[in-house]
Amino acid sequence: MEAAEELVQTKGALLHVERAGEGPTLVLIPGGGGDAAMYEEVVPLLAGRFTVITLDRRGNSRSRYTEPDSAIGIPDQAGDVVAILDHYGIDRAYVFGSSGGAVITVELVARHADRLLGAVAHEPPLVQLLPDDSAERRELDHIFRLCRDKGPMRAFAAFGAMTMPHPPWIFRSAAGQAVIAVATRCGLAVGSMVRRLTGREPSPMTRMLGNAGLNIGRELPEICFAYRPDLTALRTADVRWCTAVGDDSTGRPYHRPALVLAERVGVSCERFPGGHMSYQESPEEFTTRLTTILDRYS
């Protein structure tokens, strides 16, 4: 199914937005990677029931900043979703966000519940809800420090190992991740030269690799350390919503925070098949599970 693409102006950014299907609106917010293509496997499956809207988050891929000091904070990114709804004249929508996108979903519930039909926050990495010395917080801090000290590709390799349900052996050691980082940098350089010669657009994976410095260097500390969810507003929000975890995500940095948040604000924590990238690993099962949850909210 071909999605209609459009640029939507918001404060400090021009957002690349895609829309497909018919029915009640469902916004899919990407996490780390920041690109609408993260949901390309499930959009055709969901578009039979919903008008599905996806986006490149501000500063990522095809969504460029329009001001040199544009904010990257969670309230600003939640405001981007509201701006998209306003652009299309949509009063209320369902929202699904995963990883960093789940944190944006949490902020939408806290501050913009009147614009929501229902929401699912899938594996939000809110390690700030855990003790300061938690293993989850240490792992994410390690990835941030890798980005700062050894570059975004080295950090992206570690990030990939963290999010894969069964990472190949080369991802499971520091030496292997260093090799991956060198190979990725070389591949990106060669690809850039080829595109200059051929005029081809970068692939979704190339776009997402290009976002790594922003995702890990700027967004990770904002999402995982600086942002503080308003637990009082979440407890009293006038909309049905839940957190969610993957069946294969136990022990990962984004698993326990989803459980803790659900317990603290009194909502359910639902289960999805697969791991952190359920929508890519098991698109049919993911679609069935998400649709089942949203049907309860209708």
What pLDDT score does 68 carry?
78
Domains parsed from the chain with CATH numbers = 4-131+228-297 (3.40.50.1820), 135-222 (no CATH)
Per-residue pLDDT of the chain (298 residues; tens, 9 = 90+): 678 999 999 999 999 999 999 999 999 999 988 899 999 999 999 999 999 999 999 999 999 999 877 889 999 999 999 999 999 999 999 999 999 999 999 999 999 999 999 999 999 999 999 999 999 999 999 999 999 999 999 998 988 888 888 888 888 888 888 888 888 888 888 888 878 888 888 888 899 888 999 999 999 999 999 999 999 999 999 999 999 999 999 999 999 999 999 999 999 999 999 999 999 999 999 999 999 999 999 8
Show the DSSP H helices in the chain as ranges. Answer: 43-46, 74-88, 100-111, 135-150, 152-163, 174-198, 204-210, 212, 220-221, 231-236, 255-265, 278-281, 283-297
Please tell me whether the overall predicted TM-score, pTM, comes out greater than 0.75 for this model.
yes
Write the DSSP assignment of 61-130 as a string of letters. TT-EESSTT----HHHHHHHHHHHHHHHT-S-EEEEEETHHHHHHHHHHHH-GGGEEEEEEES---GGGS
**Residue 270's closest CA among 279, 258, 280, 282?**
258
What pLDDT score does 1 carry?
64
The Cα 69–Cα 199 span in angstroms is: 30
